[in-house]
Amino acid sequence: MTPPDGTPPDGTPPDGSSSAGPGSHDGARDETGAAANGAGELVGGGNGLRPGRRHDAFGAGGSGDTSGFGRLVAPAPVLAASERPFGDPDADAVYDALERVFPQLGDAVERAVVDRGELTLHVRREGLPALAQTLRDDPGLRFELLSSLSGVDYPDDATGRRLHSVVHLTSMTYRRRLRLEVSVADADPTVPSLTSVWPTADWHEREAYDLFGIVYTGHPGLTRIMMPDDWIGHPQRKDYPLGGIPVDYKGATVPPPDERRSYS
Amino acid sequence: MTPSSTSAPHTSTAQPTDGTAPPTDGTAQPTDGSSAYEAGFTESASGRVYTVTGGDWEEILGAGEQDAERIVVNMGPQHPSTHGVLRIVLEIEGETVTETRLVIGYLHTGIEKSCEYRTWTQAVTFLTRADYLSPLYNEAAYCLSVEKLLGITDDIPERATVIRVLVMELQRIASHLVWLATGGMELGATTAMIFGFREREKVLDLLELITGLRMNHAFIRPGGLAQDLPDGAERAIREFLADMPKRIREYHRLLTGQPIWKARMVDVNVLDAAGCIALGVTGPVLRAAGLPWDLRKTMPYCGYETYEFDVPTALEADSFARYLVRLEEMGESLKIVEQCLDRLRPGPVMVADKKIAWPAQLSIGADGMGNSLAYIRSIMGTSMEALIHHFKLVTEGFRVPPGQVYTQIESPRGELGYHVVSDGGTRPFRVHVRDPSFVNLQAVPALTEGGQVADVIVGVASVDPVLGGVDR
C-alpha cells in the first residue's frame, strides 16, 4: 500500500487550487491554466489519489476539473465572512447580544458566516473559553446545551490549520442554534477544553481526540474512547487509509472502497 | 502526539496487510518493556510478539487491610444486562457503588469514515445501521441534512414527508417496546419481555410491509423515499392502531402498580433537569425530570408543528418516571400515526428534480421484488439519454454544494443530530452522528454512584442506550 501520508506518484505540490472544504480561500483559476495543469497530473488511481481533493473520472486531480477532459473547472468553494446584518433574525440577535456583552468579540472571532440559516463563528482558540462561558451564562444568549462536538479534517485548508473542532450549541430558552469552529494546525493541535463550561463535552472531546488527534487542554482525562488504548494514528483523518481487501466475486475482483473509481 | 502519528497503525490485527511483515518501528517502545505498565515485545518472522506479564498489584495498590472491602467489578462487555457490548467498571464497597466508569468502543465500525467513500445516497445504507433500534431516524436526520445542503428542503413532496413521519412514529413505538422488553427482562419481569417483543414484532411486520426490511431499511433517501406505500399498508396500520391502545393498557395493568417493579424503580437513579442539561442528556430521561423538551415541539421539522400530540413529562426524575414517560409516548405516537394516515394524499414520493431523484422504479416480480420491467424497457429501448442519466446518477451520484449543516431530530432516545459537511463533490466530506445514546451514557456514573450494585442494571436500562449508535 502507498504510505497514507506520502506524496502522489506525480509529486504534485499541494497548491490547494482545488482545495476542498468551506474553509478555503482560493482565487479563481483560469481555464487554460487548469487544463494544462490537469493534463500533467494523471495519476494511476487507487491509493495515488490524494485524500480530500477532487479528482475526475480518470483520476486526474488538482485542477478542479472533474469531467476528465480538461475543459470544465468547478469553482473552488469559498465561504467568506458574511456581511452584517446577516438577514437572518436569529443570527443577528445572537451576534448583537454578543457584541453588547462580550467586548473582546473582535479578537476572539475571526469571522462569522451565515450559511443556510446557520450562524458559524470561527473562533481563535485563545478566545474560546471566555466566549463559551459568556454564551452559556449571559441572559440574552443562554446556550445551555452543548449538542454536539465533532472534528473535521480539511487537509487543504488554505490557512494551514487543517484540524477543525466544531461545536454545536443549542439555546433551550430562545430555541436557537449556534456553531463555533476552531481550527488548529497539525503541528500544534491544542484547543482549550470546554468540559468546565459544559460537562457533556467530556466524551465528545475524547472522541475528537481519538479520531482526529485534536488535543483538548484542560480535559480531565483525554484518552481514546473508540479505538484501543494502544492504537497508533487518528483514523478519521483524511490521510488515514480506510483499509479493506479486494473481494473475488464470480471471477471478477471488487477492489476495496478507497481504491474504487472516484468522481470527486 | 506527534505530527507523524497519522501513519498507518502498527498493531497489525485490525489493519489488513499485504502478507509481508509489518515495518518495525524501533522508536516506538523499548523492547525490554521498561515501564511497568507497557508490554514488552520482540520482533519475529511472523510479526511482533508481545509479552504480557502479571501486574505487580502490591506496588500499585499498596499492601494492607485498609481496602479490604473495596472491590473492583468488571461488568461486561459480554453481559446480558448491558444492552450490547458496554463495559462497566464498578468500584464497590460492600453493596454500595463508589465509582462507575464506562468503557465503550467495542462496536466501533467506522460508519462515519465509511460514508466518506460512498455517494450521498449510498451513505444512507451505512447510517441506518448506526442506531439499529431506530434506523429510520438515522436515515431521516441524514436525509434532512443533505436536503438542506442541496437547498431542496421545500421541494420534498408532501406525501414523502407524511410517510416519513408515519414510519418514524411507528419505529418510536417499536423502540420503546424493545426498551420495555429488555428493561423488564433485566429486572426479572419476563412477562414484560414477552409482551414487549410480541408487539414489537407487529410493528416490524408493518415496517417490513412498507420498506421491505424489518430493520436497516434504507427507505428514506435524499430527496424523498425509496418507494411509495404498498397496497394494503394503510389497512394493516389501521388494524395495528385499533389493537395497540389496549396493549398499552395491558402493560399498565401488568407493571405500573406492581410492587416489585415499583420497588426496583421508584426513587432509584434520580437525575434532575439541571444535571441532565449539564451532561447533555435529552429525550425521555430529560422529560422524566420535568423539562418538556421535545424537538418535535420546540424546534419542529417534517411538519410536526401541524400534528396534534402531547409531550408526556414527569417530575420524579427517577427510573419509574422514565418508564411512565415512555409508555405515554407510545400512545402519543399512535395519535400521530393516525393523523398521518388521514392526511395521506396521492402524489409523488420523490423530489421532482431528476438530477437528484433516485431512479428506484421497483415492482413486484416473480422473485418478490425487482426492477420495473416497463422502466427498464423505457431506458434501454427508447432513450439513450435516459440510460446515460440513470447510469451516471447511480454510479457517480449527484453533487452537493459545499457547506456544512447540523440537523437535529427527536429520536426515541433524545436529540439525534447530524453534522454533515460537503466539499462540493459526489461524496460526503464528513458525516458526524450526534447519537443520543452516546451522550446519555455519560450520565450513568451520576445515576449509579452511591447506590446499590443491583440499581446499576436499572440505571443503564433507564437510559436506554443502543451500542450501535454509541460506537458507530
B323 with B270, same domain: the answer is yes
Residue B128 counted as domain residue = no
B257 with B304, same domain: the answer is yes
A18, closest residue in chain B (CA to CA) = B423
Please say if the pLDDT value at position A103 is more than 80.
yes
Q: Between A9 and B449, name the one with better pLDDT.
A: B449
Residue B70 counted as domain residue = no
Q: Give B275's Cβ-side CA count (13 Å radius).
A: 16
CA neighbor of B5 nearest in space, from B35, B33, B20, B25: B25
Residue range of the domain that includes B20: 1-55
Q: Which DSSP string corresponds to B288-301?
A: TTT----HHHHS--
For B189-195, what is the mean pLDDT?
A: 89
Residue B241 counted as domain residue = yes
Instruction: Say if residues B167 and B344 touch (Cβ distance below 8 Å).
Output: no
Could you tell me what percent of chain B has a pLDDT over 90?
44
B42 with B188, same domain: the answer is no
Q: What is the pLDDT of residue A182?
A: 93
Instruction: Say if residues A188 and A167 touch (Cβ distance below 8 Å).
Output: no
CA neighbor of B283 nearest in space, from B127, B154, B439: B439
Per-residue pLDDT tens for A120-129?
Answer: 999 999 999 9
Per-residue pLDDT tens for B197-240?
Answer: 999 999 999 999 898 888 888 899 999 998 888 888 999 999 99
The answer to whether the Cβ–Cβ distance between A172 and B7 falls below 8 Å is: no
A158 Cα to chain B: minimum distance (Å): 14
Residues in chain B closer than 8 A to A187 (CB atoms): 3
Picking from B395, B415, B445, the residue at the C-terminal end of a domain is B395
Please say if the pLDDT value at position A17 is more than 60.
no
B422 with B337, same domain: the answer is yes
When scoring B423, B427, B463 by the number of chain A Cβ atoms within 10 A, the one with the most, hence best to mutate, is B423
Of the ranges A64-68, A85-89, B202-206, the best mean pLDDT one: B202-206
Please say if the pLDDT value at position A261 is more than 70.
yes
Residues in chain B closer than 8 A to A18 (CB atoms): none
Residues in chain B closer than 8 A to A216 (CB atoms): none
Q: What is the pLDDT of residue B18?
A: 45
Per-residue pLDDT tens for A110-120?
Answer: 888 888 889 99
The set of residues, in sequence order, having a beta carbon less than 8 Å from that of B253 and lying 6+ positions away, is none
When scoring B115, B145, B272, B404 by the number of chain A Cβ atoms within 10 A, the one with the most, hence best to mutate, is B404
The answer to whether the Cβ–Cβ distance between A21 and B278 falls below 8 Å is: no
When scoring B37, B429, B431, B470 by the number of chain A Cβ atoms within 10 A, the one with the most, hence best to mutate, is B429
Q: What is the pLDDT of residue B66?
A: 57
Q: What is the pLDDT of residue B356?
A: 85
Residue B256 counted as domain residue = yes
Residues in chain A closer than 8 A to B425 (CB atoms): 20, 54, 66, 263-264
Q: What is the pLDDT of residue B37?
A: 56
Nearest by CB to residue A200, choosing from B117, B423, B442, is B442
B311 Cα to chain A: minimum distance (Å): 16
A250 Cα to chain B: minimum distance (Å): 20
Instruction: Say if residues B466 and B83 touch (Cβ distance below 8 Å).
Output: yes
Instruction: Say if residues A66 and A57 touch (Cβ distance below 8 Å).
Output: yes
Q: Phi-psi region for residue B191, left (φ > 0), alpha (ψ -120 to 50) or beta?
A: alpha
B336 with B251, same domain: the answer is yes
Q: Between A5 and A123, name the one with better pLDDT.
A: A123
Alpha carbon distance B131, B109 (integer Å): 12
Residue A158 cell numbers, joined? 488554505
**Beta carbon pairs, A and B, within 8 Å:** 186
Length, in residues, of chain B:
472
B389 with B292, same domain: the answer is no
A66, closest residue in chain B (CA to CA) = B425
- Ranges A213-217, B66-70, B144-148, B271-275: which has the least confidence: B66-70
Q: What is the pLDDT of residue A53?
A: 54
Q: What is the pLDDT of residue A84?
A: 80
B282 with B380, same domain: the answer is no
A32 Cα to chain B: minimum distance (Å): 22
Please say if the pLDDT value at position B30 is more than 50.
no
Strands of B222-353 (E only): list them.
224-225
Instruction: Say if residues B135 and B128 touch (Cβ distance below 8 Å).
Output: yes
B106, closest residue in chain A (CA to CA) = A226
Indicate which CATH number applies to the domain containing B409.
1.10.645.10
Band (pLDDT 50/70/90 cuts) for residue B409 is: very high
B140 with B19, same domain: the answer is no
- What SS3 class is residue B49? strand
B211 with B168, same domain: the answer is yes
- What SS3 class is residue A37? helix
Per-residue pLDDT tens for B115-132?
Answer: 988 889 999 999 999 989
Nearest by CB to residue A145, choosing from B110, B113, B280, is B280
The answer to whether the Cβ–Cβ distance between A231 and B9 falls below 8 Å is: yes
Picking from B38, B55, B72, the residue at the C-terminal end of a domain is B55
The answer to whether the Cβ–Cβ distance between B9 and A179 falls below 8 Å is: no
Domains of chain A, first to last: 1-78 (no CATH), 89-217 (3.30.460.80)
The answer to whether the Cβ–Cβ distance between A20 and B425 falls below 8 Å is: yes
The answer to whether the Cβ–Cβ distance between B423 and A54 falls below 8 Å is: yes
A20, closest residue in chain B (CA to CA) = B423
Nearest by CB to residue B402, choosing from A5, A22, A234, is A22
- What SS3 class is residue A247? strand
The set of residues, in sequence order, having a beta carbon less than 8 Å from that of B188 and lying 6+ positions away, is B260
- What SS3 class is residue B235? helix
What's the angle, vertex CA B58, arms to CA B54 and CA B63, rounded to 5? 160
The pairing of beta strand A118-123 with beta strand A176-184: parallel
- Ranges A14-18, B53-57, B172-176: which has the least confidence: A14-18
Q: What is the pLDDT of residue B472?
A: 85
Type of residue numbered B67:
D
Determine how many CB atoms are found less than 10 A away from the CB of residue A90.
18
B210 Cα to chain A: minimum distance (Å): 30
Residue B119 cell numbers, joined? 455517494
Please say if the pLDDT value at position A208 is more than 80.
yes
Q: What is the pLDDT of residue A65?
A: 52
Please say if the pLDDT value at position A45 is more than 60.
no
A259, closest residue in chain B (CA to CA) = B117
Residue B252 counted as domain residue = yes
Q: Tell me the longest C-alpha to C-alpha distance in chain A.
A: 69
B166 with B33, same domain: the answer is no
Band (pLDDT 50/70/90 cuts) for residue A20 is: very low
Determine how many CB atoms are found less than 10 A away from the CB of residue B34.
9
Nearest by CB to residue A175, choosing from B10, B113, B299, is B299
B110 Cα to chain A: minimum distance (Å): 8
Partners of A146 in the beta sheet? Answer: A169
Nearest by CB to residue B417, choosing from A147, A240, A258, is A147
Residue B71 counted as domain residue = no
B246 Cα to chain A: minimum distance (Å): 36
What's the angle, vertex CA A69, arms to CA A20 and CA A238, rounded to 5? 25
pTM for the model stands at: 0.80
Q: What is the pLDDT of residue A75?
A: 47
Residue B460 counted as domain residue = yes
Q: Which DSSP string corresponds to A147-203?
A: EEEEEEE-TT-TTS--EEEEEEEEETTTTEEEEEEEEE-TTS-EEE--TTT-TTHHH
Residues in chain B closer than 8 A to A170 (CB atoms): 408, 415
Per-residue pLDDT tens for B419-442?
Answer: 999 887 888 989 999 999 999 999
Q: Between A109 and A13, name the one with better pLDDT.
A: A109
- Mean pLDDT taken over chain B: 84
Residue with cell 488527534: A213
Q: Which DSSP string corresponds to A45-108?
A: SGGGSPTTS-B-TTS-BSSS--SSSS---PPPP---PPPSS-S-HHHHHHHHHHHHH-TTHHHH
B282 with B293, same domain: the answer is yes
What's the angle, vertex CA A214, arms to CA A209 and CA A217, rounded to 5? 95
Residues in chain B closer than 8 A to A215 (CB atoms): 1
Band (pLDDT 50/70/90 cuts) for residue A51 is: very low
Band (pLDDT 50/70/90 cuts) for residue A150 is: very high
Q: Which DSSP string corresponds to A190-240?
A: EEE--TTT-TTHHHHHHHHHHHH--EEET-S----SSS-TT--S-TTSTTS
Residues in chain A closer than 8 A to B399 (CB atoms): 264
Task: Output the CA–CA distances (angstroms, integers) from residue A82 to A18, B185, B358, in the order listed.
Answer: 22, 55, 34
Band (pLDDT 50/70/90 cuts) for residue A219 is: very high
Residue B125 counted as domain residue = no
When scoring B406, B416, B426 by the number of chain A Cβ atoms within 10 A, the one with the most, hence best to mutate, is B406
B373 with B294, same domain: the answer is no
The answer to whether the Cβ–Cβ distance between A262 and B11 falls below 8 Å is: no
Query: What is the count of structural domains for chain B?
Result: 3
The answer to whether the Cβ–Cβ distance between A226 and B403 falls below 8 Å is: no
Residue with cell 442519466: B389
Alpha carbon distance B294, B300 (integer Å): 9
Element (H, E) at A112: strand A109-115
Picking from B55, B74, B90, the residue at the C-terminal end of a domain is B55
The answer to whether the Cβ–Cβ distance between B424 and A228 falls below 8 Å is: no
Q: Which DSSP string corresponds to B29-82?
A: S-TT--STTS-EEEEETTEEEEE-----HHHHH-SSSTTTTEEEEEE-SS-TTS
Task: Output the CA–CA distances (angstroms, integers) from residue A6 to A11, A48, A203, B370, B429, in the order listed.
Answer: 9, 9, 32, 45, 21
